[in-house]
Copies of this chain bind each other. A is one copy, B any other.
Amino acid sequence: MSDTSLRTQVYDSLRQALTTGRFAPGQKLTFRFIAGALGVSLTPVREALGRLVAEGAFETQPNRSVRVPLMTRARIMELRDIRMALEGLAAAKAALAADRRQVAELRRIALAIVAARRQADTTADRRNIREFHFTLYGMADQPTLLRVIEGLWLQTGPYMNLLYPDFISRPHGPQGRANIIRALQARDAAAARREIENDIDRALSYVADLADDDGNIALAKSTAAVGRRRGAATAAQQFNYAP
């Protein structure tokens, strides 16, 4: 482990919770609540939250507690455009740099996605999707680009629950991933970029259509609804879970 500071542990816990959809959009969190749940003092919590606020994963009005941002339709579309540009760039570079072993690894993850979906395992699916994308982007070997993209995923994370179960069951998913793998084998940067752009476009346009201009969400029958029940889980439950 390279950094074992408490601040980093708190940061990672919150990040995990965000990317796995444990916090609902608009949910409010106090410093003392997090500190109590994680068994640390306020100091490391403040530093971790400061970073997350800087990255846009949380927002705060001056001198007040933090909350998961409520995003308007426009803001989701903005994130869509940014992610298309950056993740498209990463995919294009990955296509030029990937070797045979890396492509095989990507194919393994693509199969795991199909398997988990057959069992409608939402948690596993989110983990798999994340692994597929970041394995792909990692091949580009561009650390700064990767970090910026991670910051963007942190912002879209709480909204990705909205994709389940309707959007995810559409047939275009496996097709897109197969196309990406083919593009890598052919070292076709333009095709890899195009496929990733399409993927992001479809997913975030779908999410954006569920949000109105005030940040309210058409809940439908999505699993995001569970996050709304504030007192349902104990404090510790919201952070710790078996990986």
Question: Which residues of A are at the interface with B, using a C-beta cutoff of 8 A?
Answer: 2-5, 7, 46-47, 50-51, 54-56, 62-63, 75, 78-79, 81-82, 85-86, 89, 93, 142-145, 147-148, 151-152, 155
Contacts and interface: CB of A to CB of B under 8 A. Distances in A.
Contact of A82 (B75, B81, B89): B89
A86 B148 CA distance: 11
Contacts of A145: 78, 81-82
29 contacts: A2-B62, A4-B62, A5-B62, A46-B47, A47-B47, A47-B50, A50-B51, A51-B51, A51-B54, A54-B54, A54-B55, A56-B144, A78-B142, A78-B144, A78-B145, A79-B144, A81-B89, A81-B93, A81-B142, A82-B86, A82-B89, A82-B148, A85-B85, A85-B86, A85-B89, A86-B86, A144-B155, A148-B148, A148-B152
A32 B93 CA distance: 42
A63 B8 CA distance: 12
A2 to B, nearest CB: 6
A151 B81 CA distance: 18
- Stoichiometry, as copies per complex, reads 2
A243 to B, nearest CB: 23
Nearest 4 pairs between A and B by C-beta?
A: A51-B54, A85-B85, A3-B62, A47-B50
A63 B151 CA distance: 23
A16 to B, nearest CB: 17
B144 A7 contact: no
A147 B7 CA distance: 24
Contacts of A85: 85-86, 89
A239 to B, nearest CB: 20
A79 B147 CA distance: 12
A82 B93 CA distance: 12
Contacts of A46: 47
Contacts of A81: 89, 93, 142, 145
B144 A5 contact: no
A158 to B, nearest CB: 15
A85 B93 CA distance: 13
A144 B50 contact: no
Contacts of A151: 148
Contacts of A143: 75, 78
